[in-house]
Amino acid sequence: MDRKTGRGNRLGLLIMGLLLTLLGGYTLARGAHALPQTMAPGGEPLVNDPVRAVFARYDPWLWWVIAAAAIVLALFGLRWLLVQGRRDRLGDFRLESGSGGITDVRTSTVANAIADEVGSHPAILSASASMIGTKEHPAVRLRVVADEKAPMSAVREQLSGYAIPHMRQTLERDHVPAIARVSLEGPSHSRRVR
Amino acid sequence: MTLPPSEPPVPASEEDTVPLPGPPVPTSGERPVPDPVSGTGPAPETPTAPGAEVAEATTPPVAPRVPRNPRADRAAVRAFRPRRVVPAVITAALMTVAGVVVAAEVISALLGRPLRWIPYDRLLAWASSTTWDDPGVLLGAGVITALGLLLVLLAIVPGRPRLIPVRTGDPDLIIGMQPRSFTRALAHAAEQVPGIDHARVRLRGKTAEVTAHSPLREPAGLVEAVQRTVVERIAALGPLKDYPVRVNLRGK
């Protein structure tokens, strides 16, 4: 799942929330006789003669419009659902450097190399990586298990000092953002024996 | 050869050497760390019940070994913001179901073979006889409004980050640590303090709350020692936001 999903979720929730708020708010206001009674009387039935008149007048295509709107709603909902499982994992791609050279980049190889490099630090117990993003803007996602006694600067320096510069070189990019999730592991017998 | 005590003779002078069998005397948090040799014990103005907790909260010293970079900080915070997957899935599923049902009903009716999943004759009769100011309608509208506001809140409130962002000073390098790892590391650090045999750390809001258990009867200076150790460990782990440390010491 990528970061776009989070933004999309919030946008979708915002839109649906506003729609529901508007709908509920309108009904509350009309029911409380707070709207102009000539336009939207509160004492009338939900479906009154003017509503019937509209449907009768625009029959049948008002119903087609409603059906189309319902289909659009369902499609949006479906897409929104499907997007939740989206992975932004980057597949293998081809690099064409300026000198006419062509490199086929196997993203798993690059990812494994960076994971090995990060994991070579004694404070880092294990590391795994995968490439994400697009061919134009590749990025790397790491899971790192570090010794809880080591300062976080060990992880940071291992990444920014060695692994990321090497990856920039390999991928011929000025920026290769990295996002690392670190869990810390301590010795199981860290309790002081007294 | 014995030297006379350099300190003014205080009534509590026996406490320097002999652990009294009386109630434990916790130290006040606000006072500086007492000298372990000539420590004069508790301040008389902080009477505390035996076994009670001693609490204090201080801000860790700001030791930014990593240059502050607001852009990097923002990127890290944003990266670990909750994605609101659960409410999104529920909303999306309801949208899909509602859209499919309405479309199927309307189109089947338009084609002359109504499905009638929904008893819309009864629905129409109800809507034709129920007014806008009907209590049921108002109640339903209230529920819908509240739901709508809830969704809006979920959308705009940042929420508690899933991982604790670490300061990197580089917008291209985002590091987050598992909150459980973080608190466990702090607890282990507290347990390294002599006199502490068990500690637990919880994050309460923006405070790291340490509950440390000591078998000692007289935990003078322990609170400060635990505090110092935990503050140091936090600084080493370098979270984006400083966590003031609050120590609750439970003595015997």
- Region of poorest pLDDT, from A96-110, A131-145, B170-184: A96-110
Taking contacts as CB-CB distances below 8 angstroms, the residues of chain B near A159 are: 173, 175
Q: Do B133 and A192 touch (CB under 8 A)?
A: no
Q: Do B133 and A194 touch (CB under 8 A)?
A: no
- Residue A144: closest C-alpha in chain B: B177
- For chain A, strand residue ranges (E) read 93-96, 102-105, 124-133, 138-147, 178-185
Query: From CA A12, how far away is CA A81, in angstroms rounded?
Result: 11
Q: Do B152 and A21 touch (CB under 8 A)?
A: yes
The stretch A20-40 carries a mean pLDDT of 92
Query: Could you tell me the CA-to-CA distances from B132 to A50, A52, B215 in Å, in that order?
Result: 15, 16, 69
* Nearest partner of B52 among B30, B32, B27, judged by Cα: B27
Query: From CA B27, how far away is CA B220, in angstroms rounded?
Result: 6
Query: In angstroms, what is the C-alpha Rg of chain B?
Result: 31
Q: Residue B211 has which token pair?
A: 């509950």
The stretch B92-118 carries a mean pLDDT of 93
In the 8-state DSSP scheme, what is residue A183? Answer: E
| pLDDT, tens only, A177-187 | 888 999 998 76
Q: Is a pLDDT exceeding 50 seen at residue B24?
A: no
| pLDDT, tens only, A160-176 | 888 888 888 888 888 88
| pLDDT, tens only, B74-97 | 888 888 888 899 999 999 999 999
Q: Residue A28 has which token pair?
A: 């509350």
Taking contacts as CB-CB distances below 8 angstroms, the residues of chain B near A20 are: 144-145, 147-148, 151
Most confident of A14-28, B76-90, B200-214: A14-28
| A143 bridge partner residues | A128, A181
Residue ranges of A 122-141 with Cβ closer than 8 A to chain B: none
Q: How far is A111 from chain B (nearest CA, A)?
A: 16
What average pLDDT does the structure give for chain B?
77
Element (H, E) at B198: strand B198-204
Residue spans in chain A of domains classed CATH 3.30.70.1350: 93-193
pTM: 0.69
Fold annotation for A93-193: Alpha-Beta Plaits (3.30.70)
Query: Could you tell me the CA-to-CA distances from A164 to A112, A171, B173, B190 in Å, in that order?
Result: 13, 10, 9, 34
Q: Is a pLDDT exceeding 90 seen at residue A3?
A: no
The stretch B217-227 carries a mean pLDDT of 82
Q: How far is A127 from chain B (nearest CA, A)?
A: 13
Taking contacts as CB-CB distances below 8 angstroms, the residues of chain B near A164 are: 172-173
Taking contacts as CB-CB distances below 8 angstroms, the residues of chain B near A153 are: 65-66, 236, 238
pLDDT value at position A2?
Answer: 57
Residue ranges of A 93-122 with Cβ closer than 8 A to chain B: none
